[in-house]
Amino acid sequence: MIKQRKWFAIPGFLTLAAAAAILSAYAGASSSQGNSPAQPVPFPHPMHVQTLKMNCVYCHFSANKSPDPGLPAMSTCMGCHTVVGTSKPGVQKLASFASKNQPVPWVRIHKVPEYVHFPHMRHVNAGVSCQTCHGNVQNMAQVSQQNSLNMGWCVNCHVGRSNPPFKARYDCATCHY
């Protein structure tokens, strides 16, 4: 009797374990937390933010007025780098893009899942710092994704469980439409 039961229990257990493994692997795949791809031109945020004291919205110019945070145009980069740091290999790489009238094809890191709308300006104007979501980019020589950007992570803040607490609507259609 016991022996018989074992022959049912073992495959059953194995199936469950396999299912759990697949599901957890799938769940992990839905976030690219920790992703830190190399960029076509190395952009040292610490140099620009800490040393040169540049504000985030100097380059990400529409983060406080548009759903879209804004990506600096090549002309913004070349405004300084036509004369500044021209001996550095990264700047030379940038200049070679610019001389060919090509934009730098930056690799995207932060992306909320599909079917979600994330208006940057609402968050910025509510006093949510850039670092709350993006991590301490000012310290990152190469930017990596610090947070999962998954729904549970978003909602945690919207329902006021963050520190400091924020209050925001958590109705589905606030973001999903």
Partner 1 sequence: MSSETSKPGVKRREFLKVVGAGSATATMIGCSSERVEKLIPYFVSPDQTVPGVSTYYASTCRECASACGIIAETRDGRTIKLEGNPDHPVNRGALCAKGQAALQGLYNPDRYRTPMVRRGGKLEKTTWDDALKIFGDKLAEARRNPGGVAFINRHQSGGFPQLLNSWLAGMGMAPALSIDPDADTTAIAANLQTFGVAWPRYDFASTRLIISFGADFLDGWGASVPQQLDFADARARGANAPRFIYVGARRSLTGLNADDWIPAKPGSELAIVQMLSGASTPQQAAQASGVDVARLTALQTEFAAAKPALVLAAGGGPNGMELCLAANALNGTSGAVSIADAYRGFEGIDPVSHIRALGQRMQGGGVSMLMVHNVDPVYLMPKSSGFRAAMAKVPFKVSFSSIMDETSEMADLILPDNHSLESWGEAQAVTNTLSLQQPTMDPVFDTRAIADVLLAVSRTTGTPIATMPDYRSLMISRFPGGAAGLAAALPKGISSGSVQQPAGSKALPQPVAAANAGNGDFTLLVYPSPALGMGEGANKPWLQELPDPVTKIAWQTVAEIHPATARKLGVENGDHVIVETAAGKLSLPVYTYQGIREDVVAVAAGRGHADSAGRYAKAGSNAFDLLTYAEDRSGSIMLGSTRARVTKDGGHSRLVTTEGSARQHGRGIAQAVVVGQLGGTHEASGSEHAAEAAPQGSVSGEQKERALGEKAAAGEHGGEEGHPEFPGDASHEFLPGLRSPTAKDAQGDLGGPGTKSKEKGMYDPEHWSGMARRRWAMTIDLARCTGCSACVTACYAENNIPTVGADWQGPKVLPDRTGFGANITRSREMSWIRLERYFEGGEDGGADFETRFVPMLCQHCGNAPCEPVCPVYATYHAPDGLNVQVYNRCVGTRYCSNNCPYKVRYFNWFGYGEPARAQYAFPEPLNWQLNPDVTVRGKGVMEKCTFCVQRIREAENRAALEHRGVEPDEFTVACAEACPSRAITFGDAADERWTVAKLVNDERAYHVFEELNTYTAVVYLKKVNHPGAMTTSPVAAPEVH
Cβ proximity to partner 1: between 12 and 156 the closer is 156
State yes or no: residue 51 binds partner 1 (CB under 8 A).
no
Mask: binding to partner 1, 60-79, rule CB under 8 A, as x and -?
--x--xxxxxxxxxxxx---
Nearer residue to partner 1 within complex by CB, 7 or 115? 115
How many degrees, rounded to 5, is the angle at CA 29 between CA 67 and CA 12? 145
Residue 159 engages partner 1 in binding (rule: CB under 8 A):
yes
142-153 CB burial, b ≥16 within 10 A, e <16? ebbbbeebebee
* Residue count, binding to partner 1 (CB under 8 A): 49
Question: CA–CA separation, 79 vs 74, rounded Å?
Answer: 8
Nearer to partner 1 by Cβ, of 49 and 149: the residue is 149
Distance separating alpha carbons of residues 83 and 66, to the nearest angstrom = 31
User: The tokens 């759903």 sit on which residue?
Assistant: 67
> Residue 149 CB, nearest distance to partner 1 (Å)?
9
Site for partner 1 in 88-117 (CB under 8 A): 101-108, 110-111, 113-117
Task: State the amino acid at position 99 in one-letter form.
Answer: S
Least Cα distance to 47 among 142, 147, 133 occurs for: 142
Token readout for 121 is: 């300006």
Question: Rule CB under 8 A: which of 1-30 touch partner 1?
Answer: 29-30
Q: Which residues bind partner 1 (CB under 8 A)?
A: 29-32, 37, 62, 65-76, 101-108, 110-111, 113-117, 119, 121-122, 125, 155, 159-160, 167, 169-174, 176-177
